[in-house]
Amino acid sequence: MLVGWLILLKIAFAGKIGISSVVSRSIARDIGGYTNIALFGVDSREKELEKSTRSDTMIIASINNQTGEVKMVSVYRDTYLDVGNGVFTKCNAAYAKGGPEQAIAMLNSNLDLNITDFVTVGFGGLTQVINDVGGITLDIQPEEIRPLNDYQISMVGTSSDGIHFTAQEGKDYTPITQAGEQLCNGLQATAYCRIRYTAGNDFRRTQRQRTVINLTAQAIKKAGPLRWVQVGNDIREWTYTSLDTGDMLGLMTKAMRYHIGETTGFPFPDKVATGHVGRSGSCVIPVNLVTNVQQLHAFLFGEQNYTPTQTVQNNSARISRDTGH
């Protein structure tokens, strides 16, 4: 039901934009009957959704058009890739530099994909959606309590230096006080998505994001059509997408068939390293890009003997030279 959630989130669409030009001609085909959509989550208090803000979340949602299964792949935001014009750095810089068009071009060229559509959601939109469906139940671990509350404060508080935030407990936010399964409101669940500096770092953070998306999608499905309209109206200003009304209607007619299948992160757990890479700082490093892309195509499309394009091979060699991996 992920795509159903995406459709509902993006009722704030800003009109169809031309993304098709960023798809490599060598792979500009429908990959085995799959529809691929990029989901970007951005941290923007000013609702700057088109660019000038780094994407905190990048998820590839791949729909099997025959079975309705939706697989999700989180691309770690610090992954060292070509973000455009031969500039190699953390991949979330692509969105900041050129918005969704450049971010999609980055995904397509580095991963041999054919993505043409996207949905960008500001974190305020996710908070609103979760509140509209009455919250979601999360299993909060003891080590997650403090950073979760800190993120709540940073999202609603005030600051004189952009680093230290203050907020009024009980008025601006409701703190989590104990571990275990509990109903979380929108702000709490969104803050949970953003926890990074615990065991697992960004790898665990992307798991949290996929969990929240899945639970939110389930809640929306149960809420029914009347609540869907409310959700769409409430988050209009927090959403930006390439999908137009016709696209949405086409997906919505099939939405009840969609179900979330396997999810994972990219690079894959057995093909990844971390390290300091020059001015880019601490990065997630695919080891190597070629084998990761091969595994990605096997995971998403069942292509067991996929041969990456020359672009991917060249990028892989460059990443190896730059990082020593």
CATH number of the domain to which 24 belongs: 3.30.420.590
pLDDT score for 242: 81
Q: Classify residue 112: in a domain, yes or no.
A: yes
Q: Classify residue 139: in a domain, yes or no.
A: no
Q: Per mean pLDDT, which range of 8-12, 43-47, 229-233, 262-266 is the poorest?
A: 8-12
Q: Classify residue 48: in a domain, yes or no.
A: yes
Question: pLDDT: is 220 or 272 the higher one?
Answer: 272
* pTM for the predicted model, two decimal places: 0.77
* Domain span at 95: 2-125+224-323
Q: Classify residue 115: in a domain, yes or no.
A: yes
Q: Classify residue 301: in a domain, yes or no.
A: yes
> Which single residue is written with the structure tokens 């980055």?
106
pLDDT score for 317: 98
In this structure, the number of other CB atoms found within 10 A of the CB of residue 269 comes to 8
Task: Provide the number of structural domains found in the chain.
Answer: 1
Distance of CA 38 to the CA centre of its chain: 7
pLDDT score for 197: 77
Q: Classify residue 15: in a domain, yes or no.
A: yes
Q: Classify residue 119: in a domain, yes or no.
A: yes
DSSP-assigned states of every residue in 77-107: TTBEEEEETTEEEETTHHHHHHHHHHHHHHH
Alpha-carbon torsion, ordered 215, 184, 73, 195, to 10 deg = -170
Closest CA to 206 of 313, 55, 70: 55
In this structure, the number of other CB atoms found within 10 A of the CB of residue 197 comes to 11
Q: Classify residue 236: in a domain, yes or no.
A: yes
In this structure, the number of other CB atoms found within 10 A of the CB of residue 1 comes to 23
